[in-house]
Amino acid sequence: MAELRLAGRPASPGFAEGVLFHLVERSVTRIATNDSSREAADLRRAIADAAQTIGALAEKSEGEAAEMLAFQVAMLEDDALSEGAFIEIEKGSAADQAWRQALDAEIQSYRAADDEYFRARSADLEDIRDTVLDHLSGGGSVLAVPPGSIIVARDLPPSRFLGIDWSKGGAILLSEGSPSSHVAMLARARGVPMIIGLGIVPTPDATPVIVDGASGEAFVEPSETTRHAFLMRQRDDQEKSGRAASVASKPAMTADGTPITMLINIAGLDDLEGLDPSLCDGIGLVRTEFLFGEGPDLPDEDTQYHVYRRMIEWAQGRPVTIRTLDAGGDKPIKGLTIDGESNPFLGVRGVRLSLARPEIFRIQLRALLRAAVHGPLKVMVPMVTVPSELEAVRMMMGNAFHSLKSEGVTVAVPALGMMIEVPAAALAVSHFNADFFSIGSNDLVQYTTAAGRDIGAVASLADVRHPAVLRLIELVASYGVEAQREVSLCGDAGGDPTLIPDLLKAGLRTLSAAPGLIGRAKLAISEFHLGQSGGR
Amino acid sequence: MTVPVLSSEKASGSALLTNAVGLHARPSVKLTQLAKSFSSSIAVATEATGPWVDAKSPVKIMRVKAPKGTILHFEAEGPDAVEAVAALVALVERRFDEAEGDDHG
């Protein structure tokens, strides 16, 4: 067969070579029988089938992978894992629901573990959970993704991404998808090449393919010439990566000596594993919604506190900016966000949702106040549109502070700042009494250009370099200098070497980006002459 | 530091967890597999006073989340109780036959 060139839009840079693996979607929903003995029998069979599937895979695997699969089999074969589920089935729950609930509780306890090795095992428990769910819904052919695969799918849920072993390389090719999706952010953070909008990929599993994430090209069954050119580009890229790596641990500075503060964006503790804090000047954005989306229950105060505390401890005295729950928009959370909004991006999301659900927000504020004891914590409120929203948060925080104190709990007051995502907030920035401002460029761009970040067809309109967007950034940055409030930018633009010069020219001196992009970002900064530009 | 205490059909002993990852995925599987090879009932705990968990259940052992430096206590009851405790203590003392400095698991 001849070489086939596929072209899509780059979503995460990097090179990969491997074989195709089509990810079957978990779309089949199981219909409950309302017969508890049938449900129990179905679950028992699904667990046995899952153990057999994984066992077969373990036999084909070697080394560490085989041992991890053997661990999954041992867990599945242990009745202690499922006894809670069978009790729920007895009480009338459907098999899939009961299983999910039991496993999610188990997973939650691993996530809360003090020891990182035990925390890391939550991914194995998720795998176990999903494999059994697949068998329950009759889609038993869904196997663990062989490490190093070039994954083909329509879209990829973040949970699925996190369940895949990326240590052996690999890449993601999506027929749809968006560069601003969470899976794209995760891919960039982990350095996994990803291309979106490829349309149907017609070739079967195990076909060799090479992927250039930066150019958005993939070559199926590449010719020798193509492969050679690919290897040359890869070497070039590695050379650049080498230079990026050499500046990564040094403070960021422009070619003419202006220091730039470089922070990292993270979605959870996983992103910090193996990461040296000296890479950055602190954490500029923690997306706490990932904490909320994972289990059937929202995380309790202690769970949140432990996660926040660990992040602060990781940073070793560097500031840590934690964003309060930013659900809604493209991040629905079951039982929390409002279903069926005609335009969720213009609906009850971010702080609007937090203020609408104070009983849930209060828990997060309490956890943050407790965590603030352990280091310089900054709390950042998303989607603020009018000053009264920020003041309402401040008041709730004050109340939480006093009730914790009266309970005898040690607390500290963190800095309270806000995101600038809504153009109205950018234009009226001087009206807000925030300790700091962080520009969420993804949303600011989509709201300014009226081009949805999840709609591929208008993606070219959603450009940070639109003069209106740069003007808004300039406005906020110069207000920050005048009022002595820190201004940073934590959208994707902050890690994009091609956009960084424009951001610095607009007056920004603090950028936050995915950990995997810090080296390149610092390299771009070090090669840029700010000169007399820079709005200050 | 194995101290098997003999009685008619009961035995107990303890050992210090010295492998880097504690009683983690791989060690747990090895420990439960070994425990299952005996017909005695065997329990494990991180305190001499318990709480005790079934040493044949990887799920329950993983729930203990015992880190490096924990002293594991074993109690067995049954026809091969003494052999079982001796074998389990030896396994822990051999660091579950894991390579030195092997942090994976």
Question: Is residue A531 domain-resident?
Answer: no
Backbone phi and psi for residue A497, each to the nearest 5 degrees, phi listed first: -55, -30
Spot the catalytic one: B11, B13, B17, B24: B24
Q: Would an 8 Å CB–CB cutoff place B28 in contact with chain A?
A: yes
Is B104 in contact with A113 (Cβ distance < 8 A)? no
Any CB–CB contact under 8 A between B48 and chain A? no
Q: Catalytic: which of A182, A280, A306, A374?
A: A182
Q: Chain B: nearest CA to A518, how far in angstroms?
A: 27
Asked whether residue B88 is domain-assigned, the answer is no
**Residues A480, A358 share a domain:** yes
Residues from chain A that touch B25, judged by Cβ atoms under 8 A, are 67-68, 71, 121, 124
The verdict on A284 and A202 lying in the same domain is no
Per the structure, the count of domains in chain A is 3
Is residue A494 a part of any domain in this protein?
Answer: yes
Report the chain A residue with the minimal C-alpha distance to residue B28. Answer: A71
Q: Are A284 and A417 in contact (CB under 8 A)?
A: no
Q: Domain check: are A373 and A469 in the same one?
A: yes
Nearest to B65 among A67, A118, A124 (CB): A118
- Determine, for residues A67 and B26 on separate chains, whether the beta-carbon distance falls below 8 Å: yes
Domain containing B42: what range?
1-71
Residue A229: in which H helix or E strand, if any? helix A224-248
CB contact under 8 A, B105 and A109: no
Burial pattern A217-236, b for ≥16 Cβ within 10 A else e, equals bbbbebeeeeeeebeeebee
The reply to whether A277 and A179 lie within a common domain is: no
Residue B104 lies in a domain: no
Contact B58 A71 (CB under 8 A): yes
Residue A161's pLDDT is: 76
Count the domains in chain B. Answer: 1
CA distance readout (Å), B57 to A8, A45, A77, B41, B45: 49, 20, 9, 11, 13
Tell me, yes or no, whether A30 lies in a domain.
no
Q: What is the pTM of this model?
A: 0.58
Q: Is residue B94 part of a domain?
A: no
- The DSSP bridge pattern shows strands A436-439 and A486-489 to be parallel
Q: Could you tell me if A50 and A174 lie in one domain?
A: no
Pairing status of strand A377-381 against strand A320-323 = parallel
CATH for B6: 3.30.1340.10
Residue B49: the pLDDT is 87
Separation of alpha carbons A53 and A135, rounded Å:
10
Final residue of a structural domain among A217, A240, A263: A240
What Cα–Cα distance (Å) separates residue A499 from each residue in A423, A470, A508, A524? 20, 11, 12, 9
> Is A75–B58 a contact, with Cβ atoms under 8 angstroms apart?
yes
The β-bridge partners of A151 are A21, A172
Do the domain assignments include residue B17? yes
CB distance A99 to A124 below 8 Å: no
| Interface membership of B54 toward A (CB under 8 Å) | yes
Inter-chain CB proximity B65 and A124 less than 8 Å: no
Residue of chain A nearest B102, judged by CA positions? A64
Chain A interface test: which of B65, B98, B103 (most A C-beta within 10 Å): B65
Classify residue B1: in a domain, yes or no. Answer: yes
Task: Check if B13 contacts A (Cβ < 8 Å).
Answer: no
Q: Is A280 a catalytic residue?
A: no
Are A444 and A350 in contact by the 8 Å Cβ rule? The answer is no
Is the sign of the CA dihedral A382, A384, A388, A391 positive or negative? positive
Question: Phi/psi at A76 (nearest 5 deg)?
Answer: -65, -35
The confidence band for B101, taking pLDDT boundaries of 50, 70 and 90, is very low
Question: Which residues sit opposite A9 in a β-bridge?
Answer: A196
Q: How many CB atoms lie within 10 A of CB A466?
A: 15
Contact map slice: A 68-87 vs B, CB within 8 A: 68, 70-71, 74-75, 78-81
Residue A17 lies in a domain: yes
Q: Could B63 and A109 be called an inter-chain contact, meaning their C-beta atoms sit closer than 8 Å?
A: yes
Kindly list the distances between the CA atom of residue A359 and the CA atoms of A92, A238, A289, A307, A444, in Å, as whole numbers in the listed order. Answer: 29, 50, 16, 20, 29
Domain ends where: A84, A108, A136? Answer: A136
For residues B38 and B103, what is the distance between their CA atoms, to the nearest angstrom?
29
CATH of the domain at A51: 1.10.274.10
Q: Are residues A170 and A111 part of one domain? A: no
Instruction: Say if residue A149 is in the same domain as residue A183.
Output: yes
Looking at B6-97, list the stretches that DSSP marks H as alpha helix, in order from N- to C-terminal side. Answer: 25-36, 58-64, 81-93
Closest CA to B9 of B68, B61, B79: B79
Alpha-carbon distance A512 to nearest alpha carbon in chain B (angstroms): 31
Same structural domain, A132 and A165: no
A110 and A71 in a common domain: yes
Distance of CA A282 to the CA centre of its chain: 18
Same domain, A414 and A437: yes
Q: Please report residues of A whose CB lies closer than 8 A to that of B32.
A: 74, 78
pLDDT of residue A141: 45
- Note down the domain range covering A181: 4-23+145-240
Q: What is the pLDDT of residue A516?
A: 80
- Measured at the CA of A417, the angle between CA A412 and CA A420, to 5 degrees, comes to 160
Residue among B22, B29, B59 whose CB faces A117 most closely: B22
**Taking the CA of residue A107 as centre, how many other CA atoms within 13 Å lie in the half-sphere pointing to its CB?**
23
Nearest chain A residue to B33 by CA distance is A74
> Are B59 and A113 an interchain contact pair (Cβ–Cβ within 8 Å)?
no
Query: What does the pLDDT profile of chain A (536 residues) look like in tens digits?
Result: 578 888 888 889 899 999 999 887 554 567 778 888 999 999 999 999 888 877 877 776 555 556 777 888 999 999 999 999 999 999 999 999 899 999 999 988 888 887 767 776 776 788 788 888 888 876 544 457 888 999 998 877 655 676 688 888 999 999 877 766 667 777 887 789 999 888 777 778 888 999 999 888 899 999 998 899 888 888 888 887 778 878 888 999 999 999 999 999 998 887 787 788 999 999 999 999 877 765 567 789 998 999 999 999 999 999 999 999 998 877 777 778 888 888 889 999 999 999 999 999 999 999 999 999 999 999 999 999 999 999 999 999 999 999 999 999 999 999 999 999 999 999 999 999 999 999 999 999 999 999 986 676 787 788 999 999 999 999 999 999 999 999 999 988 999 889 999 999 999 999 999 888 898 899 999 999 998 665 55
Torsion angle, alpha carbons of A218, A224, A227, A231, to 10: 180
Put simply, the answer to whether B54 touches A118 (Cβ < 8 Å) is no
| A114 in contact with chain B, both atoms CB, cutoff 8 A | yes
Judged by a CB distance cut-off of 8 A, whether residue B105 touches chain A is yes
ipTM reported for the complex, 2 dp: 0.84
Peptide bond into B51 cis (omega under 30): yes
CB-based contact (8 Å) between A66 and chain B?
Answer: no
Q: Which residues contact B99 (CB under 8 A, 6 or more apart)?
A: none
A511 and A369 belong to one structural domain:
yes
- CB-based contact A82:A105 (threshold 8 Å): no
Tokens found for residue B59: 């799920």
The H or E element containing residue A17 is: strand A15-22
Same domain, A233 and A353: no
Q: Of A240, A275, A302, which marks where a domain is finished?
A: A240
Looking at the complex, does the CB of residue A63 fall below 8 Å from at least one CB of chain B? no
